[in-house]
Amino acid sequence: MTQVLLAVILAACSAGERVPGRTTSKHRRDPRATLSVPDALQIINRIHPGRSMVPVSWPGGKGVAVALTFDLDAELVWMRSPEKATPSNLSQGQFGPRAGVGRILRLLDARKIPATFFLPALTLELHPDTVVAIRQSGLHEIGYHGHAHEDVRTLSAGDERGAMARGLAMFAKVGLRPRVHRSAAWNFSENTLGLLREFGFLFDSSLMADDRPYEIMSGASPAGIVELPVDWSLDDWPYFQADGAGASMGPRNPDDVLAIWRGEFDGERAAGGLFVLTMHPQVIGRWGRIRMLERLLDHIDHSGGAWYGSLSQIGEHVKTAQ
């Protein structure tokens, strides 16, 4: 029943018919007009937040945890359709491993800051030298970001499982066993949570129900996975990344974005929470944005009381502190 209802809602929201006499707007039947509370709860409770898992304190008595995360999508982010996979767009992706990652690593390694790099499995073989550079630092972890940055919502249950199995086999081939997952679409299908459990993931960083760590629930049962939540306001892509059609908010003034990020960090510091920043080497790797990130780190360091950790380090602390 839930899947049928959800399919009806999605179909109604994506369909539309032109209103007579108008050429610029569409009339859509919004299924929420007749949505009952039981049906709403049936949809909401498939995957929902459970108890907050924010610890009393962070390691060393620090007052806030900071996670710097980098999604190394490279060319794969542009391969979702033939229209996107143009030489120009692919070259934007190539900037990440070619130039951006080195600049990021030099900044982080100079400050001894651990980070989490999320890689689609194909990137391990498309850019092996970049993977070696990340691993040689000894500070950073590599998390799982799909087989080829696929949108799991478009896949059947069998196709999604097959993609994850192939992707994790590629990770294992180079001696990696990721414990933290980030969906390429920042979203789950009906099957994603079960697959994360099946393949032994401990942590996820794709959902947005809180700005504190929380336990993911499947119906009335804990899923056994800690969510380390993200948010679009703490992602560099919406601010800066433009495609060939100009379909984005960006580019923005780095000073404006810095003010947003500093404000979010200051709030988390006051609350004793978790500050998760999502960046992409092809975006943040530009000089003006790298300097913006450096200024943010200066602010974090000067504020005092911040503990930097990879997402798995943060997740382990959260679990043991309960």
Q: What is the DSSP string of 122-145?
A: HHHHHSHHHHHHHHHTSS-EEEE-
Check residue 249 and give its pLDDT.
57
Give residue 81's identity as a one-letter amino acid code.
S
Instruction: Say how many CA atoms lie within 13 Å of 247 toward its Cβ.
Output: 5
Hey, where are the domains in the chain? 2-39, 48-320
Mean pLDDT of 106-131: 97
The pLDDT confidence band at residue 14, using thresholds 50, 70 and 90, is: very low
**Which CATH architecture does the domain made up of 48-320 adopt?**
Alpha-Beta Barrel (3.20)
Check residue 251 and give its pLDDT.
77
Q: Quick one: 231 exposed, middle or buried, by C-beta within 10 A (0-12, 13-18, 19+)?
A: middle
**pTM for the model:** 0.89
For 89-101, the pLDDT digits (tens) are: 899 999 999 999 9
Handedness of CA 262, 226, 142, 316 (dihedral sign): positive
From the list 231, 69, 85, the residue with the least C-alpha distance to 148 is: 85
Find the distance separating the first CA and the last CA of the chain, reported in whole Å.
36
Handedness of CA 119, 294, 100, 247 (dihedral sign): positive
Q: Which helix (H) or strand (E) holds 253?
A: none
Angle at 54 between CA 50 and CA 58, to 5 degrees: 160
* C-beta atoms surrounding 20 within 10 Å: 6
Mean pLDDT of 108-136: 97
Q: Which residue has the higher pLDDT, 229 or 27?
A: 229
Check residue 1 and give its pLDDT.
44
**How far apart are alpha carbons 152 and 192 in whole angstroms?**
8
Contact 202, 180 (CB under 8 A): yes
From the list 54, 45, 46, the residue with the least C-alpha distance to 226 is: 54
